[in-house]
Structure 1
Amino acid sequence: MSVVRIDQGHSATLPHVRIQPAKGLLDLDFAGLWNYRELIHILVWRDVTVRYKQTVLGVAWAMFQPVATMLIFTAVFSVMGKIPSDGFPYPVFLYAGLLPWFYISQALSRGGTSLVGEAPLISKVYFPRLILPLSATIAPLVDLALAFVAFLGLMAWFEVVPTWRVLLLPLFAGLGATIALAAGLWVSALYVRYRDVGHILPMFIQLWMFVSPILYPVSKVPEAWRAVYALNPVVSVVEGFRWALIPGFQVDFSMFLPSLIIVAVTLVGGLIYFRSMERTFADVI
């Protein structure tokens, strides 16, 4: 596939556009991403505004959904199911897990369908295709920030005072974004060629939630299975959010290493696979 580079220095009037072949699968064209950074801003802003346009509650939907989910799950799994929460108020414990999960699920869902959803744009105009899953990963961060505001109200209700650890919350949010982007690269590229992915993705996301420690604590996982359980990268994000937000919450940080390795391998592999498939997107889509 050809790569477009913009060279601003050889003309006093108009920029020169130089088309050259990619130098290999590892030529990820980061310079092109930087040149088209305004397009990322435009796509993110469009996704945010369109999502809440002509709605009664507007951006309040970003807070209503996790709060409503928290109330229902608390009634079902805590009140009736008697699921423990390591001694912490179950609504706080649950909401701290729902925060990163709602973000990851939304980012993966939007990123996975970003290429097919922008088919007319891809078939008509050149731009680095990586921009689409990247912008789809960034946009739900707005919802995450708004949902966090609702969580502050929940903490005040239960008289939970955050500690200095809350300052490390952006690190775990960044890990969640990396997970969503890594998975979104694979899913979006596969979805272009195999439309079955569109049917599998919602079911996969739903199942992924139940194999992650959102509704229950990691302590409920049998000791013999925890090494395997730690391979799920969402475990590190959820546990990290709870550690940063809930005073006194203890985390086994040794479980983070397998997750970090899985995320790194998935991201690098996703970038290479996305790059290898990129040349066919406009033809197949």
Structure 2
Amino acid sequence: MDSSTGERAGLLESAPPLQSERADPLPIRKPSEQHQLPEKPLVVIEPSRGWSPVNLRDLWVYRELLYFLAWRDLKVRYKQTVIGIAWVVMQPLLSTLVFTLFLGKLARVPSDGIPYALFAYAGLLPWTFYSSSLNNSGNSIVGNAHLITKVYFPRIIIPAAAVAGRIVDFAIAFVILVGMMFLYGVPFTLETLMLVPLVLLLTLFALGTGMWISALNVKYRDIGIALPVLIQLWMFVSPVLYPASLVPARWRMLYDLNPLVGLIENFRAALFGLPFNWRALVLSTVFTFAMLIYSAYAFRRMEREFADVV
């Protein structure tokens, strides 16, 4: 071995050991640590504190979502239909035609001196608005499960949007009622202004019952199945196709406890100049606000479980 070879061997022996580019290797995590969720969620839905049943600030912040959901409901409902939004007036018109033939002509149901076709349509108009609002808002939370489980927003907006969409239907169908009143020569009076608070009360009552039913329907799916049957039965115990004066006097106090009696009966009275049933209207007003407040509290306390159950 020559001298140069010996020098290279000495240099190799005295050189420091080779190291990898990463001095500190990555720590090995256990499988349970790799998939561990954050300690606290980003948003926690809690029941309201104090006397406020809803967070009004959140509702104002998400007001555009209310408009979007209501508009989406209208577009989806009449998408790819032949006559489109004309279906809004077809339902009460066709129902009026059938009931006028069988109840007005054959059964001779009294109508307080008003032509039965006009009498029936004036009762079916608020009833159709309420029943469709209740049916759609009652199933709204279950029908929007994909939104509930993905993003946070005030859940009360969903049943509220279902009711808001039916207000548009009511306004369009009301134009037909105005045309029928001109056709039958029924004039408008100052009492017609009572329609404004009556429609507002009807909307609040639909919102209150819709919130409550929608929250119950998430946990008890029997509600959604039984709801159409209950709505149909409710129609026949309300003065939709017959006047409230047809009910015997001894049953009137019990009959007036139905909130829709004061709303529908006085809706007709405001249109046709009939006497107002103030007792039924007061009972309907008290029941409407009591139902609205209770439903808001119940909905707020149950909404934290929607994402887990829906």
Normalized against structure 2, the TM-score is what?
A: 0.83
- Say if 1:182 and 1:267, in contact at 8 Å, map to a contact too: yes
Q: Deviations over 1:45-74 (max 9, x none)?
A: 111122112211111111111111101001
The percent of aligned pairs where both chains have the same amino acid is: 46
Structure 1 residue aligned with 2:299: 274
Q: Deviations over 1:68-127 (max 9, x none)?
A: 110100111110111001111111111111110000001101110010000010000100
Structure 2 residue aligned with 1:39: 65
Structure 1 residue aligned with 2:286: 261
Select the residue among 138, 156, 162 that pairs with 1:136: 162
Give runs of aligned pairs for residues 1-285 of structure 1, distance below 5 A. Answer: 22-24=47-49, 26-27=51-52, 28-246=54-272, 248-285=273-310
CA distance 1:84–1:219, shift in 2 (3 Å): same
Structure exhibiting the larger radius of gyration computed from Cα positions: 2
CA distance 1:218–1:49, shift in 2 (3 Å): same
Structure 2: segments with no counterpart, 5+ residues? 1-41
Give the counterpart letter for 2:218 in structure 1. V
Report the secondary structure of 2:208's partner residue: helix
- Say if 2:266 and 2:281, in contact at 8 Å, map to a contact too: no
Give the counterpart letter for 1:249 in structure 2. L
- 1:25, CA displacement in angstroms? 7.1
Report the secondary structure of 1:124's partner residue: coil
Name whichever of 149-158 and 94-103 sits farther off: 149-158
- Say if 2:45 and 2:304, in contact at 8 Å, map to a contact too: no
- 1:168, CA displacement in angstroms? 2.5
- Say if 2:48 and 2:300, in contact at 8 Å, map to a contact too: no
Matched residues in 1 for 2:284 and 2:43: separation? Answer: 41
Structure 1: segments with no counterpart, 5+ residues? 1-16
Give the counterpart letter for 2:66 in structure 1. I
Q: Which protein has the bigger strand share?
A: 1
Matched residues in 2 for 1:273 and 1:59: separation? Answer: 35
Matched residues in 2 for 1:25 and 1:197: separation? Answer: 30
- Say if 2:262 and 2:277, in contact at 8 Å, map to a contact too: no
Matched residues in 2 for 1:118 and 1:252: separation? Answer: 40
Matched residues in 2 for 1:23 and 1:173: separation? Answer: 29
